[in-house]
Amino acid sequence: MNVPVTPFAPAETLRAALAGLLDGLPPRQAAQAVDRLIANYRGRTPTDAPVLRDRSDVVAYAAYRMPATFEAVRSALDALAEAAPAGWAPDSHVDVGGGTGAATWAVAATWEGERPVTVLDWAEPALALGRELAASYEPLRSVAWQRSRIGSALTIESTDLVTVSYVLGELTEDGRRAVMDAAASAARSAVVIVEPGTPDGYARVIEARDRLIAAGFRIAAPCPHSAACPIAPGTDWCHFSARVSRSSLHRQVKGGSLAYEDEKFSYVAAVRFPAVPAPARVVRRPQIRKGQVLLDLCAADETLHRETVTKRHGTLYRAARDADWGDAWPPSSPD
Ligand SMILES: C[S@@+](CC[C@H](N)C(=O)[O-])C[C@H]1O[C@@H](n2cnc3c(N)ncnc32)[C@H](O)[C@@H]1O
Q: What is the pLDDT of residues 174-195, one digit of tens each?
A: 999 999 999 999 999 999 999 9
Query: pLDDT category, 35, cuts 50, 70, 90?
Result: confident
Q: What is the mean pLDDT of residues 202-230?
A: 98
Query: pLDDT category, 44, cuts 50, 70, 90?
Result: low
Q: What is the mean pLDDT of residues 61-66?
A: 89
Q: Is residue 194 part of a domain?
A: yes
Name the nearest CA neighbour of 270 among 102, 70, 95, 83. Answer: 83
Whether the ω angle into residue 46 lies within 30 degrees of 0, i.e. cis, is yes
Name the nearest CA neighbour of 191 among 209, 171, 167, 170. Answer: 209
Residues 204 and 284 in one domain: no
Count the neighbouring beta carbons within 10 Å of the beta carbon of residue 300.
Answer: 15
**Structure confidence at residue 42 (pLDDT):** 63
Query: pLDDT category, 49, cuts 50, 70, 90?
Result: confident
pLDDT digits (tens, 9 = 90+) for 200-213: 999 999 999 999 99
For 41: left if phi > 0, alpha if psi spans -120 to 50, otherwise beta; the answer is alpha
Cα–Cα distance, 276 to 299 (Å, whole number): 13
Q: What is the mean pLDDT of residues 36-48?
A: 70
Q: Whose CA is nearest to atom 4 of ligand 1?
A: 99
Q: Is residue 1 part of a domain?
A: no
Full residue range of the structural domain in which residue 149 is found: 10-271
CA of 99 to the centre of ligand 1 (A): 5
Q: Whose CA is nearest to atom 14 of ligand 1?
A: 97
pLDDT higher than 90, residue 8: no
Q: Which of 77, 121, 156 to mutate to test the pocket of ligand 1 (most atoms within 8 A of CB)?
A: 121
Cα–Cα distance, 265 to 270 (Å, whole number): 16
Q: Which residue has the higher pLDDT, 35 or 286?
A: 286
Q: Which of 47, 51, 164, 170 to mutate to test the pocket of ligand 1 (most atoms within 8 A of CB)?
A: 170
Residues 166 and 50 in one domain: yes
pLDDT digits (tens, 9 = 90+) for 115-128: 999 999 999 999 99
For 43: left if phi > 0, alpha if psi spans -120 to 50, otherwise beta; the answer is left
CATH number for the domain that contains residue 164: 3.40.50.150
**Structure confidence at residue 79 (pLDDT):** 98
Q: At what angle do helices 55-64 and 27-41 cross, to 10 degrees?
A: 90
Q: Is residue 3 part of a domain?
A: no
Query: pLDDT category, 218, cuts 50, 70, 90?
Result: very high
Q: Is residue 2 part of a domain?
A: no
Residues 117 and 258 in one domain: yes
Ligand 1 neighbours, Cβ below 6 Å, are 50, 52, 66, 69, 97-99, 102-103, 121-123, 126, 149-150, 165-167, 170-171, 175
CA of 195 to the centre of ligand 1 (A): 12
Residue that finishes a domain, picked among 251, 271, 291: 271
CA of 207 to the centre of ligand 1 (A): 18
pLDDT higher than 90, residue 333: no
Residues 174 and 120 in one domain: yes
CA of 257 to the centre of ligand 1 (A): 30
CA of 24 to the centre of ligand 1 (A): 27
Cα–Cα distance, 77 to 26 (Å, whole number): 35
Using the atom order of ligand 1, give the atom closest to the CA of residue 171. 16
pLDDT higher than 50, residue 235: yes
Q: What is the mean pLDDT of residues 2-27?
A: 75
pLDDT digits (tens, 9 = 90+) for 77-93: 999 999 999 999 999 99
- Predicted TM-score of the model (pTM): 0.94
Residues 101 and 136 in one domain: yes
What is the number of domains present in the chain? Answer: 2
Q: Is residue 84 part of a domain?
A: yes
Query: pLDDT category, 324, cuts 50, 70, 90?
Result: very high
Q: Are 169 and 196 in contact (CB under 8 A)?
A: yes
Cα angle 191, 218, 120 (rounded to 5 degrees) comes to 10
pLDDT higher than 80, residue 255: no
CA of 331 to the centre of ligand 1 (A): 35
CA of 68 to the centre of ligand 1 (A): 15
Residues 232 and 159 in one domain: yes
Using the atom order of ligand 1, give the atom closest to the CA of residue 164. 6
Q: Whose CA is nearest to atom 15 of ligand 1?
A: 170
**Structure confidence at residue 45 (pLDDT):** 64
Cα–Cα distance, 323 to 328 (Å, whole number): 8
Residues 262 and 218 in one domain: yes
